[in-house]
Chains A and B, each alone.
Chain A
């Protein structure tokens, strides 16, 4: 009897103590370096708001393992409060009815007013907010070591032709022109930038968003593959399997001249104490100036049963869009804030340029395209099919004609 009373008191005690404070379990793969520091900021803010943060980090393969964990948890009826999923994946989870409605937070904080339409479209399912955007990455960047270019009398290449000329020159001098990491997603990142450069934004849209068979089988597509194959003669032998940050460090150290990578690469330059304009260039991928391939990271919110945890989850969604978090996170990560009203004065010139292009393309209604390589433009099934063809093409002696045929077939099969 006494024991029972004790137990009741103990239970009552815990319930009373946690009546206000909820817990958010956040599944993500920002496990190390600048990314981990960035997400730790959000954790601090959640803690300061009186809630607790359960950190669920699972690294590996651009979220491959985290996705498996999320599916496992979802079918076991025990989904985490929040998970790092993005793009069309959000819609798929929304269709299955797993996501929480963030409308109250969104309307009281005027998300519709502060977010550009391209961003809010991705965050909404059936017209309701279900995810909170963390940042906007621009994917079509080219990073260059200034000293290497200067020493060899090379001006930043503005189009593909200049890029190959510069690469040829560097190669002749025994310098690796392009730092590349031979992993499927990196191959795809390079490939999509080339498609954008060769075919332009509308063509990019036809291929990677609409999956228009005519465009997929077009001459422009073959040309894109031709250009893509050229990259191969300017990378070093150790590229296959290399992580992107290792490739970035080659550019930082001057072992290589260029890298084609999204703006997260800037985080590496900053961490190494390098300054844009003086140590390195952040350039639009040759021939894609004035266009913007976007990649939005987001935390999707899953339906929770416990009311306290729900409250904590809503609070976190609110905090993600707070100017303070947007500032700190994006400065660390190299991306730009999602809020159009954000004060950009604290950011470096690359981020400012990126924001300008983003706003301009967004206002003009053209030149702003969703990244295929980063899951913004199409379903994971079709994205995977494109990955397979691109990486197979890049790592074999497959002809461009065959690649065009295989690509259109693979996309059709995955639809």
Chain B
């Protein structure tokens, strides 16, 4: 099984054959410091533009900053205000609903269609392109188009009524209880094709001899997928998860274009909350504290997962 367990995927962490670094230690000449020099701009960037800015934002969250940064400290006041704000709690709940459904469904849809496309389909190239192209559109375009399609007075509901199905109803986008699911629909439309491409690549990377061996043993096609192929694609799931989580957490453009966070605040998410409080509400301190909470949330959920995945593969 050792030959096929590192599949696909861009993010695939792999076992290292430790000798690779031994040579660099041997010669203390140019090859010793050159790699460090080459990496240094990125190290500097990471320190300043990622962790430096996180630190800055954290400091700001303890100040009374309003429209612009100022450094008068007020302790945890902004955090207290944040958690007393109904909108913030709603935004967190919405992100949870959206994140779970979006990531989950994209994974399932992506996997199913990757498997279906992997059955020696005749027009695979064309179909694959069709599934993939939404990824090429900006979320602004996606949001604008789906906003029309789902609007009951101009979109699909009206269209169905006009052609005679007067009982047809699809008005989730104007229903505060259902609007978040329209965001899920549009998000899946945009991103599932990309997940499919990752899974398809994963399937293509599997050593066919194992599949043949399993089939010779009398396993059904279904069993081959569930027992052999899918378990061996663990790293691919990891890659897909990272990509999707990245999109879900940052979801902003799509919601702004699709619902603008409404009806009411029904589709508000932390990224929108942060943006509005920081830049249009003149409450930069609260905006910064919401950013810190978001980062802590991401860390709490992702780091254990990253750690176990990266660890797991090294063994």
Contact = CB atoms under 8 A, between A and B. Distances in A.
A391 B264 contact: yes
Contacts of B275: 64, 68
B264 A239 contact: no
A414 B285 CA distance: 12
Interface centre among A61, A183, A240, A381 (most CB of B within 10 A): A240
A182 B147 CA distance: 14
Contacts of B67: 71, 89, 92-93, 96, 380
Given A68-B279, A406-B86, A74 B265 contact: no
A184 B280 CA distance: 14
A383 B277 CA distance: 12
Contacts of B81: 413
Interface residues of B, number: 35
Interface in B148-201: 151-154, 171, 173-174, 176, 179
A112 interface: no
Contacts of B128: none
Contacts of A400: none
Nearest to A98: B68
Given A413-B81, A413-B84, A237 B262 contact: no
B86 A381 contact: no
A381 B66 contact: yes
Given A92-B67, A93-B67, A241-B173, A391 B265 contact: yes
A379 B67 CA distance: 10
B205 interface: no
Contact of A394 (B66, B68, B152, B264): B264
A365 interface: no
B204 to A, nearest CB: 42
Contacts of A92: 66-67, 282
Contacts of B256: 60-61
B153 A241 contact: no
A285 to B, nearest CB: 23
Contacts of B262: 182-184, 240-241, 391, 395
Contacts of B283: 381, 384, 414
Contacts of B174: 182, 237-241
A401 to B, nearest CB: 16
Given A237-B171, A380-B282, A61 B68 contact: no
A61 B264 CA distance: 15
A396 interface: yes
B52 to A, nearest CB: 15
B234 interface: no
Contacts of B153: 236-238
Nearest to B264: A395
Contact of A380 (B86, B147, B281): B281
Interface of A: 60-61, 63-64, 67-68, 71, 74-75, 89, 92-93, 96, 182-184, 236-241, 379-381, 383-384, 388, 391-392, 394-396, 406, 413-414
Interface of B: 66-69, 81, 84-87, 147, 151-154, 171, 173-174, 176, 179, 256, 259-260, 262-266, 275-277, 279-283
Given A92-B66, A183-B262, 14 more contacts: A68-B275, A71-B68, A75-B68, A93-B67, A96-B67, A238-B154, A240-B179, A240-B263, A241-B151, A241-B174, A380-B282, A388-B87, A391-B262, A413-B84
14 contacts: A64-B275, A75-B68, A75-B69, A89-B67, A182-B263, A236-B153, A237-B174, A238-B174, A239-B174, A240-B173, A380-B280, A380-B281, A395-B262, A413-B85
* Closest A-B pairs by Cβ, 10 of them: A395-B264, A238-B153, A240-B263, A68-B279, A384-B281, A240-B174, A380-B282, A395-B263, A391-B264, A64-B280
